[in-house]
Amino acid sequence: MTLLPRSLLARSILLISLILIASQVAWIQFYRMSSAQSRSDLVASSIVRTLETVATALESMPAASRRKFSERLPEEQNIRLYPASRLDVDELAVPNSPLLAAVDAQLKRERTGTNVLAMIEDADHALWVKIRIKQQSYWVVFAEEAFQLPPAAAWAGWSVVSLALALFGGLALMLRVNRPLQALADAAEEIAAGKTPDALPEKGPSEIRTLSRAFNHMSSALSQQESNRAVLLAGVSHDLRTPLSRLRLALEMSGPRVPETMRDGMEQDIEEMDAIIDQFLEFAREGASEAVDARGDLDALVRALAERYERRGEPLALRLEPLPPMPLRPMAIQRMLTNLVENARRYGGGTIEIETRREADLAVVCVLDRGPGIPPEAVEKVLQPFTRLNDARSDTGGAGLGLAIVDRAARLHGGTVRLMPREGGGLVARVELPLPPQAPAPALPA
């Protein structure tokens, strides 16, 4: 079991996300390592310039104006100015702080005229710098937000925004690739269902255009081959009908000149050849060109089939549950049901049973017999055209097209055929056909 998503789109988005996240983490770490010192120097330079400005202003103004000046500073510069009392210590050791060390180094480097007596940092991370102006000491207090650089959350926010933009671009790019691939998969499903899909648009990146062009060429070639095969089978079957009719007529006119046992054998051979020709014609007709009845009644088609066998003296046991209307090609469904019943009649034993029921969003029809059944490993094989098992079924005639016709009709309706062993012996031929969305379940008769 793998934790990776199944679709190419999801895997591509996951890979792009991991690459972008890794690059963002590496960039942030590199930025922090390379710019930490320069950021401290930048803040220190700003603090030193502010100290110079405050010191110059205090020196140039009368003592009476300094109070008003100190009252305006919090609003204009986000700093505070307090006169130092006699209880203050004139010299304090600079704490071991990168910022204070940078400010101290900046003061020494620029050699300003500002007389700095001390620097401390309080519990609120405010920076207190003590300066002397004309025999008077002042505390210049820088609040944390006055010199704080953008917080890590801001950098993380920008990283998230850039990551989202990159993911959006990657998603848009992958959708341009995923849509043609999905269209290609849908078209392949239609071919598997026995349909001829519409040509794919040959646009987009060169690789997608090449793939779409190759698929369209393949689909066209398959459609042409299918058409040629149908014409060949129909032509051969039609041409065989004429000499077969002459043989039947000659046999009927031969009278007593042909022994009874030979006559019976010849009549049986003619009937078998006629049945094989019918299978060829049914297989060639396909049914794709037949009009769809949007409100087809599967139960009604089963009853009509049972009535035909009843008139022939071969009754079928029916167990039918009400089914909602569904899109059907009536002739194709009739051929499918007839071949299932004929397969059961030819190879099975006992009474042939037909069941219909609804299971979730499927209409299910089952034909049950008591014959030898089909080995599970041979199920896929017998659904292929011109395939017959080399067992008890080998001496019953036929061209091996009966179940292939059933499978084609089911796929033509978007359904599937399942051949399963029956409890107690025999075969269950189960056909599952999809119901239209939100098809209401019909009410059971009172």
Residue 351 has pLDDT above 80, yes or no: yes
The rounded distance, in Å, linking the Cα atoms of 3 and 118 is: 61
Class of domain 8-149: alpha beta
Q: Does pLDDT of 35 surpass 60? A: no
Return the pLDDT at 392: 44
Q: 142 and 47 in contact (C-beta within 8 Å)? A: yes
- Residue 355 pLDDT > 90, yes or no? yes
- DSSP annotation of 126: -
Residue 431 bridge partners (DSSP): 365, 417
Q: What is the pairing mode between strands 317-320 and 353-359?
A: parallel
Is residue 442 pLDDT above 50, yes or no? yes
- What is the value of pTM for the model shown? 0.48
In this structure, what token pair is assigned to residue 55?
């010191």
pLDDT at 397 over 60: no
pLDDT over threshold 70, residue 25: yes
Alpha-carbon distance of 43 to 103, in angstroms, equals: 8
Q: Cα-flanking dihedrals φ and ψ of residue 116, to 5°?
A: -90, 125
Q: What are phi and psi of 86, to 5 degrees?
A: -70, -15
Of 132-136, 159-163, 204-208, 375-379, minimum mean pLDDT range: 159-163
Which one, of 156, 129, 151, lies nearest residue 21 by Cα? 156
Ranked by mean pLDDT, the top range of 112-121, 267-276, 341-350, 433-442 is: 341-350
| Tens of pLDDT, residues 296-309 | 999 999 999 999 99
Q: How far apart are CA 331 and CA 324, in angstroms?
A: 19
Burial of 386 (0-12, 13-18, 19+ CB in 10 A): exposed
Q: Are 296 and 325 in contact (CB under 8 A)?
A: yes
Q: Where are the beta strands (DSSP E) in 312-415?
A: 317-320, 326-328, 353-359, 362-369
Which two tokens mark 152? 């890590």
Give yes or no for residue 42 having a pLDDT over 70.
Answer: yes
**Amino acid 337: pLDDT:** 93
Categorize the per-residue pLDDT at 424 as very low, low, confident or very high, splitting at 50, 70 and 90.
confident
d(CA 232, CA 239): 10
DSSP state of 65: G
Sheet hosting strand 362-369, strand order edge to edge: 317-320, 353-359, 362-369, 427-434, 416-421
In the block, residue with structure tokens 């130092």: 84
Query: Lowest-pLDDT range, 8-12, 290-294, 319-323, 347-351?
Result: 8-12
Sorted by where each begins, the domain ranges of the chain are 8-149, 186-285, 291-434
Quick check: 405 and 287 in contact, CB under 8 A?
no
Q: What is the mean pLDDT of the chain?
A: 76
**Residue 1: helix, strand or coil by DSSP?**
coil
pLDDT value at 27 more than 50: yes
Q: Are the CB atoms for 320 and 355 separated by under 8 Å?
A: yes
Q: Check residue 118 and give its pLDDT.
A: 75
pLDDT digits (tens, 9 = 90+) for 85-116: 754 544 444 455 666 777 777 777 776 667 77
What does the pLDDT average to over 180-191?
A: 80
The pLDDT score that the predictor gives to residue 366 is: 96
- Phi first, then psi, for residue 131 (nearest 5°) are -125, 160
Q: Which fold has domain 291-434?
A: Heat Shock Protein 90 (3.30.565)
Which of 74-78, 139-143, 312-316 has the highest mean predicted lDDT (pLDDT)?
312-316
Could you tell me how many residues make up the chain? 446
Q: Evaluate whether the domain defined by 186-285 bears CATH number 1.10.287.130.
A: yes
pLDDT of residue 393: 45
pLDDT 10s digits, 130-163: 888 877 888 888 876 666 555 555 556 666 777 6
Task: Rank 109-123, 312-326, 380-394 by mean pLDDT and report only the highest.
Answer: 312-326
Amino acid at 246: R
pLDDT in tens, 215-251: 888 888 877 776 766 666 666 666 676 777 777 777 7
